[in-house]
């Protein structure tokens, strides 16, 4: 609503100012030599100017722009730009022809210099800089031909150049402000995302600490209480607690409650378990991870291997590899479990 209101105000000011300039062409004490030509030139100017103000006001597609200052930062249609150039080329000469040779320095004859300057300033704001400067040049050349360059400079050419130059400067400053604002918003988003990620990391660390205390707390308390003199059952529990903590540190991405229970059960039956997550699950969706963990928990629960190696590596096709080894005879070790969890095929 604010952008629409600002655009309406600026458009109204543009209409009022150009109408004021055009009124100077119709104020005379005695009619110009060709008054109908003068009225036609004024009408042509006003119609073209108001077309340039109102026609197709929509934003330019610019990824780096987040602001729409001065109403809407829009591009003037090509045909309207050509029409504005036609005004700059025709209206000044038409006014001097209409005024007659004896009145070429009258206000109603030189009004077109300021009027063309105002029109070209609008064209500049509508993102047609080359058209704007070309229109000023055409009006200046016409003025130099009809009344001479000194009189042209004194009667409005300098003002037209200043208006268009000021419009270009303001447009540049507005673009710079829009770019800086977009960059600031991007930095704010990045900062918010970083803070959110840090908060997530802190929550995960608190969860891991609480889980570690729940697992190792009783064992540590018992170890301190007995000054390290644990019986075989307590040493076995301490080994399970150590392995569980190692899983949390090295393979957290592979774990959920079911997998933790399966790993604990495998250690309780005497198996040695090694879990290592190298980022193999990073590219999987949450649903795919849940399915993989459920299958992993089932596989661990059904395994009878004496040593289990579970690894999630960054591989193009394999997400997780499970290897089980068991002793068979003296000094002989066999692989009795080999299972690979393949990544889901891309559609």
Residue 70: predicted pLDDT:
43
pLDDT per residue of the chain (347 residues) written in tens, 0 to 9: 445 555 677 777 777 778 777 777 777 767 777 888 888 988 999 889 888 888 765 554 444 444 444 444 478 888 888 999 999 999 998 888 888 777 778 877 888 888 898 899 999 988 889 999 999 999 999 888 888 888 888 888 888 899 899 988 988 888 888 888 888 888 888 888 888 888 877 887 777 677 666 766 676 676 777 766 767 777 777 777 778 888 887 888 888 889 888 988 888 888 888 888 888 788 888 888 888 889 999 999 988 888 899 998 888 888 889 999 888 766 677 888 899 888 876 64
Q: Cβ(157)–Cβ(113) under 8 Å?
A: yes
Residue 141: predicted pLDDT:
92
Separation CA 68–CA 271 (nearest Å): 67
Residue by residue, DSSP assigns 147-190 as: H-HHHHIIIIIHHHHHHHHHHHHHHHHHHHHHHHHHHHHHHHHH
Q: Which two tokens stand for residue 58?
A: 């929509």
User: Which residues are CB-neighbours of 223 under 8 A, at least 6 positions away?
Assistant: 230, 238
Q: What are the residue ranges spanned by the domains of the chain?
A: 2-189, 253-342
* CA within 13 Å, CB half, 133: 6
Q: Cβ(326)–Cβ(290) under 8 Å?
A: no
């Amino acid at each position: 609503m604010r952008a629409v209101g600002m655009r309406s105000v600026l458009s109204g000011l543009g209409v009022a100012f150009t109408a004021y300039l055009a009124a100077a062409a119709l104020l005379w004490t005695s009619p110009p030599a060709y008054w109908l030509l003068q009225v036609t030139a004024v009408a042509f100017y006003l119609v073209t100017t108001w077309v340039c103000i109102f026609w197709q006001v929509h934003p330019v597609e610019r990824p780096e722009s987040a602001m729409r200052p001065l109403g809407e930062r829009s591009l003037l249609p090509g045909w309207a730009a050509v029409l504005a150039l036609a005004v700059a080329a025709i209206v000044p000469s038409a006014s001097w022809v209409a005024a007659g040779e004896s009145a070429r320095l009258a206000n109603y004859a030189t009004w077109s210099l300021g009027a063309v300057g105002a029109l070209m300033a609008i064209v500049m704001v509508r993102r047609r800089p080359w058209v704007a400067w070309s229109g000023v040049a055409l009006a200046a050349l016409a003025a130099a031909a009809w009344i001479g360059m000194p009189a042209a400079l004194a009667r409005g050419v300098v003002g037209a150049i200043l208006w268009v130059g000021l419009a270009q400067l303001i447009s540049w400053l507005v673009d710079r402000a829009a770019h800086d604002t977009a960059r600031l918003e991007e930095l704010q988003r990045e900062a918010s995302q970083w803070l959110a990620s840090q908060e997530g990391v802190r929550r995960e660390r608190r969860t891991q600490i609480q889980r570690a205390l729940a697992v190792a707390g009783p064992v540590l308390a018992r170890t301190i209480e007995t000054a390290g003199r644990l019986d075989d059952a307590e040493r076995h529990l301490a080994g399970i607690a150590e392995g569980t903590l190692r899983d949390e540190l090295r393979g957290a991405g592979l774990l959920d409650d079911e997998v933790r229970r399966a790993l604990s059960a495998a250690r309780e039956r005497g198996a040695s378990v090694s879990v290592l997550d190298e980022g193999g699950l990073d590219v999987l969706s949450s649903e795919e991870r849940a399915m993989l963990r459920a299958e992993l928990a089932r596989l661990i629960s059904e395994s009878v291997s004496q040593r289990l190696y579970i690894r999630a590596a960054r591989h193009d096709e394999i997400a997780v590899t499970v290897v089980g080894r068991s002793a068979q005879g003296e000094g002989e070790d066999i692989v009795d479990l080999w299972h690979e969890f393949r990544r889901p095929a891309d559609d």
